[in-house]
Amino acid sequence: MQFPHTKPQDTAIGQVLTRFAAGDPSLFELISSDIDFRIDHFRDEADTSWQQAKSREGLMAVVGRLGQEVFPKGTEALGIDSVVLGDGWHLTCFNQRFFYGERQRDVTSLTYIISHETNGMLDYFRETVTNIVNI
């Protein structure tokens, strides 16, 4: 089975990630009020228990803390590649470069995101950070 690729501007997740990388707070206009959001790390000892939210307001608090602790200098999107899984579901590979506040150094990171959108609004987001590589 093959899944079609889509352009970032054609999906809510692609637009959210593009706006996130640009530091554009209008990304929250694309978030459902009852978003189900969580970030996990593969084989990493980082405490991610605070990186989850069940509402747009909760997500705003998480993104604010991410900006302070993880992305104090923002992030650069190296690639956003999504495939359409059907019925509003997408699998996105997000490759980024940023100054990692936790390590106090520049890194790259590859993450996989399963997301769902309804009527152009992101209502489900599960990100798995697969690696954080020092530059």
Q: Which residues contact 86 (CB under 8 A, 6 or more apart)?
A: none
Task: Provide the domain count of the chain.
Answer: 1
Q: Is the pLDDT of residue 1 over 80?
A: no
pTM of the model: 0.93
Banded model confidence at residue 48, pLDDT cuts 50, 70, 90: confident
- Using CA atoms, how far residue 50 sits from 58, 129, 135, in Å, is 10, 15, 26
Q: How close are the terminal C-alpha atoms of the chain, in Å?
A: 36
CATH number at residue 75: 3.10.450.50
Q: Is the pLDDT of residue 72 over 80?
A: yes
Banded model confidence at residue 14, pLDDT cuts 50, 70, 90: very high
Question: Residue 30: what residue type?
Answer: L
Average per-residue pLDDT for the chain: 94
- Report the pLDDT averaged over residues 55-75: 96
What's the rounded Cα separation, in Å, for the pair 7 and 84? Answer: 10
Residue 47's domain comprises 5-134
Q: Is the pLDDT of residue 54 over 80?
A: yes
